Structure 1
């Protein structure tokens, strides 16, 4: 009896040992890549949305209306739309290092030039150019993660990476508020001018570091052994078998109903995300908070809630290998928070509670969403598909802030705009429900 059970026990232990070794390897890959990728996205997101803080001073200084601000903030995404797909296809061809370094260095220079804005056309032009320069960065990062992690590990990795959004808010809010108050008037420059200049410097430095730190793919990673590279590449190759890999033309992408639906869902996530992030400082100030630094400190609270929500919900999604309901629930929570923030817009405490729910829900939808299209696309199909989905969805980044600006000019309140955003998030929940579970629960 003993002689029969020992080999069986040994056979059971071998797969368990292999699984533990594989888990340890993926943890090492995550620790190597994720902190640096998060740093890249922190400085990217800071340069993308710090215009929301600049608004607290520059609108009065330059005599811009709320609609002018919303248009300028949103024009970023028009530049993004036109240049995103070519940028992602170029990255697939020439590699991540050259592409991401070029993107970061170029946008840092354009972001710094924002300090010289005096008239609306300059504001609009630089925001458009900033979007064109940054095009391909975010979808390029998502694509880069598909080179390393199979789908059942990817939601948590994308969530960790996208925690950079709330982290940039936690850091950037107080930092932007402090710069605008402490540097105001030094060398004859306004606080918002110093903010654009100072916050552009980290992007330039990190862009240079990309060239020496990142590896283009698994095979070029010198910090992995040959056996480890083989294992990682085998897992990616096994997962890619049977995935869609034929869409390299935009016409083909738009003809695929699954991708069109994904683009519409992503549109809803972006509407909530940027409607909130571009207007969060103004919403907090509207509730009765006085002082730029105080506004900056309070913006850190909703972003902190969002960071926890993104990580916990995505970890649960990976553990249960369930995607749809882990996306539907944050959509609904975000919509509820926006309604509360709109109803109690002049009560600091209740408005802040609503904004915390809104941030925790709406920002958690983005990493959960990307587990859907990456479950059905691979290789060049992923490069083109991810970029097309994201570029279309980012048109919401143009519509959302501009819409709220127009509404605020007409009503002297952003509440109606928040209700519209809540409706869009609920639409995202409905669209997600119509996605077959067997297609994405992997």
Structure 2
């Protein structure tokens, strides 16, 4: 990880620059690993239902539609609580909110052990999303307080790769638990999986309450001069941001916000399709038992995480990341199309296509969140970020539900994944053509 946190490629030219670079590296080492682990666990607790599905559906006699609706209801809770949770961060501070959120979603995931009916499944998935809603947009705002654009782009790609790495944790641990812990104390393996994968979340949430600062001003490892230097560097980076009105009414009427929400919706459609159905795809591709599926998921996501970080780091060298985000989206489109035609016939192609698709969607999400900061003032991000995230996460609700329904009706996931690929292609088009069009219209108003 030391390679990832190395100094910027431009060599410091003064003692002040060296001191600032040192302060940033020190802060990165204390902030990013903790947030990385929390984001990884968040994805473990939201997405482990995809692995539990291999046993849970037959045990509880759930249909694919019931599973898809339950998986998607997480995002309905996420949408409902996204903006209120982020507003609480301004009142309570990042440390308190992030800790409370982590403990809340961890306990909810533990409660998934006792699911016995569709109603209970739906309720807990909704509650899980409601608890987690403020974490991701809160971290985006938190990074905006800590890092200028170049460092933020690189560091956020590292943070976001935790979402991909979470699937490694789900695959390795889930495969072991389903295979070896079924029947212990009378509980099925999928029930044990929810408990064992959620306990670390609760523990790390408690750790966050003691070690995570609310911002540079309260970071005890920094000197007063270093705190001032970081704050000044972040403020100077914001001077190049396109100014817009600071009124919330103007923000809701700003077409750029809705364009960005539409783009993120399209990106999350493919992301959700992959996240909630990868174990099933691998089983249908002939990857054998639970352990083999888990190991395949771990390897796929390890490759995908590396591709995400490498591509996002390369893109961070350029001021405008729109084109790189569009390229990442198109990579996902091609991968999804190839996947539809390969997963029932060629294990090797399925494996590597999934890895490329994971890298593409991961880089797309990582790079996307560097775009909104260029079109609004710092004060506006408090509302704009959770608004964009909440609206776009409707995709997370619709995608698994409709994919499961299509599977029940047609007996195949093919049309669902082809639709996800088409929506992802729309994201690339809007990135390249939609954003400049809206920006030109705003400039002449």
Q: Please say whether Structure 1 and Structure 2 have the same fold, judged by a TM-score greater than 0.5.
A: yes
**Cross-structure match for 1:190:** 188
TM superposition shift of 1:17: 4.3
Q: From 272, 275, 278, give the equivalent of 2:273.
A: 275
Alignment of 1:142-291 (within 5 A): 142-241=140-239, 244=243, 246-247=245-246, 249=248, 251-291=249-289
TM superposition shift of 1:313: 1.4
Q: Which runs of 5+ in 1 are unaligned?
A: 1-12
SS in 2 for 1:118: coil
Query: Hey, what's the Cα distance between the residues in 1 that align with 2:224 and 2:129?
Result: 39
**Cross-structure match for 2:402:** 403
**Cross-structure match for 1:326:** 324
TM superposition shift of 1:155: 1.0
SS in 2 for 1:163: helix
TM-score (norm 1): 0.93
TM superposition shift of 1:240: 3.4
**Cross-structure match for 1:436:** 436
Alignment of 1:55-70 (within 5 A): 55-70=53-68
Query: Hey, what's the Cα distance between the residues in 1 that align with 2:290 and 2:194?
Result: 15
Query: Hey, what's the Cα distance between the residues in 1 that align with 2:244 and 2:107?
Result: 36
Deviations 1:100-130 (A, max 9, x none): 1111111111111111111111100110011
Query: Hey, what's the Cα distance between the residues in 2 that align with 1:336 and 1:123?
Result: 34
Deviations 1:27-51 (A, max 9, x none): 2221121111101111111001000
After superposition, the Cα gap between the structure-2 partners of 1:121 and 1:31, relative to the gap in structure 1 and judged at 3 Å, is: same
TM superposition shift of 1:248: 5.8
**Greater CA drift, 350-359 or 126-135:** 350-359
After superposition, the Cα gap between the structure-2 partners of 1:343 and 1:233, relative to the gap in structure 1 and judged at 3 Å, is: same
Partners of 1:75 and 1:124 within 8 A in 2: yes
Query: Hey, what's the Cα distance between the residues in 2 that align with 1:197 and 1:23?
Result: 41
Query: Hey, what's the Cα distance between the residues in 2 that align with 1:319 and 1:193?
Result: 45
TM superposition shift of 1:253: 3.0
After superposition, the Cα gap between the structure-2 partners of 1:18 and 1:319, relative to the gap in structure 1 and judged at 3 Å, is: farther
Alignment of 1:38-49 (within 5 A): 38-49=36-47
TM superposition shift of 1:408: 1.0
Query: Hey, what's the Cα distance between the residues in 2 that align with 1:302 and 1:248?
Result: 45
After superposition, the Cα gap between the structure-2 partners of 1:33 and 1:245, relative to the gap in structure 1 and judged at 3 Å, is: farther
**Cross-structure match for 2:104:** 106
**Cross-structure match for 2:411:** 412
Task: Determine whether 1:349 maps to 2:348.
Answer: yes
TM superposition shift of 1:322: 3.1
**Which of 1 and 2 has greater Rg?**
1
Query: Hey, what's the Cα distance between the residues in 2 that align with 1:407 and 1:254?
Result: 35
TM superposition shift of 1:317: 1.6
**Cross-structure match for 1:118:** 116
Deviations 1:36-90 (A, max 9, x none): 1101111111001000011000000000011110000000000110111011111
Partners of 2:337 and 2:421 within 8 A in 1: yes
TM-score (norm 2): 0.92
Deviations 1:152-211 (A, max 9, x none): 321111101001011111222111111111110000000000001111100100010011
Partners of 2:51 and 2:170 within 8 A in 1: no
Partners of 1:245 and 1:379 within 8 A in 2: no
**Cross-structure match for 1:391:** 390
SS in 2 for 1:138: helix
Task: Determine whether 1:336 maps to 2:316.
Answer: no
TM superposition shift of 1:414: 1.0
Query: Hey, what's the Cα distance between the residues in 2 that align with 1:129 and 1:60?
Result: 24
**Cross-structure match for 2:34:** 36
**Greater CA drift, 240-249 or 334-343:** 240-249
**Cross-structure match for 1:9:** none
Partners of 1:374 and 1:382 within 8 A in 2: yes
**Cross-structure match for 2:358:** 359
Partners of 1:159 and 1:310 within 8 A in 2: yes
Q: Which runs of 5+ in 2 are unaligned?
A: 1-10, 440-445
Partners of 1:163 and 1:311 within 8 A in 2: yes
TM superposition shift of 1:147: 0.8
Query: Hey, what's the Cα distance between the residues in 2 that align with 1:409 and 1:348?
Result: 24
**Cross-structure match for 1:71:** 69
After superposition, the Cα gap between the structure-2 partners of 1:248 and 1:197, relative to the gap in structure 1 and judged at 3 Å, is: farther
Query: Hey, what's the Cα distance between the residues in 1 that align with 2:417 and 2:37?
Result: 30
